[in-house]
Structure 1
């Protein structure tokens, strides 16, 4: 008897397709931020990205240059200027080796990922055209080092399939400070550096400055005097964190390498 394999293949594919569409509209609970801990995977694992451009740029705000242990921070992920009416996201926080760090509290239109190590949108969010999400991240209880926040957004064309969408990724970093012991009596300029970064210590004669990139990796270390001109010309363009340590007290500032 002749078997209609195509017919059976279609029947098999229907529930799988429905699972993807229904599940993702209520949030992408998996690990899809593009981070090392998420295996570099993003929404493009399932969504076919075309030349469609909805114009939206994702921005994470509310993150301090330096975070304090056990402190909770109110963050906002916003997709600015998008013409898409159905947008989703996925966010997590990690150390440089991909270890997840801190804890998350969902806000309106968000829910925890399956692993609880990040957030994603929920069905209320995608049904309302929401493009901005408030959330809370709580820092770990001890000094675990530099943390990087990885996020991905998916602006869809709402055509009932996974084709023709726009996926964007981003990341932001922060370092641990010591709260009341933070050392703040120093001057750093300019904040947009082409070659030389100036560090002036007003209340001490020495300290150590460590430069971190946005993936949490240390790229430079300097021993400081009272007045310092530090060569940054070999750094690639991007955002960096300068962590100053003086007598076991820490302060963090951010600068841009042009």
Structure 2
């Protein structure tokens, strides 16, 4: 092989390498939107009873960064059995452009510890319910429509919870939420967790 053919062969191999590298980068970028879970996370990501949270993937900032808040309201400290309550989940962070959450209600102790406590219901298209892959625990979470913000930096979801007719122990609500920056990746987001424990009146 003469010198010119040798150089052409090297240039050709470099072009192939560059094309492969470009395809690899494009392929990786296509997977980023999936990581955002605009239509809701997989079940069992509330942080309760040893579960993971959104921070498993959205790990760029510390969990429960002090610049934001996650609050639960609407459920009294002492509930009445068989009653229905409206619960508000509010997430606040100045850098948030999209928001998401997942919440569940379970018995805190006793023979039913960790089991579903009462019934969770969506009130509109902003939330939905899913069931755990390895349990019958029900989770309520945001939908794609529900990931849009109420106002810049503020997300709010309203759901219903019907308390159990024959409760066996105090009930604990676990919730995890993601204040996302809407950049189609799992970086730059802020994850928060909260819990609320209530007893029977």
* TM-score normalised according to structure 1 size: 0.58
Equivalent in 64, 71, 80 of residue 59 of structure 1 = 71
1:92 to 104, 108, 114: 104
1:137 aligned partner: 161
Which is helix-richer, 1 or 2? Answer: 2
Task: Report what 1:107 is aligned to.
Answer: 123
Q: What value does the CA root-mean-square deviation take over the aligned residues?
A: 2.8
Q: Which ranges of structure 1 fall in alignment gaps of 5 or more residues?
A: 178-258
Q: TM-score, normalised by structure 2?
A: 0.73
Please, which of 185, 188, 194 is the counterpart of residue 161 of structure 1? 185
1:39-54 equivalent positions in 2, closer than 5 A = 39-50=50-61
The 3-state SS of whatever aligns with 2:193 is strand
Q: CA 1:98–1:51 in structure 2 vs 1: closer, same or farther (change >3 Å)?
A: closer
SS in 2 for 1:25: coil
The runs of 5 or more residues in structure 2 that have no matched partner are 1-12
**Are the counterparts in 2 of residues 28 and 113 from structure 1 also a CA contact under 8 Å?**
no
Deviations 1:37-79 (A, max 9, x none): xx33100111122269693211101111112222111110112
In structure 2, relative to structure 1, the CA distance for the partners of 1:156 and 1:80 (3 Å cut) is closer
Q: Deviations over 1:120-158 (max 9, x none)?
A: 1111122x3230111001111212210011111111122
Q: Give the aligned length.
A: 171
Q: Partners of 1:77 and 1:129 in 2: how far apart?
A: 13
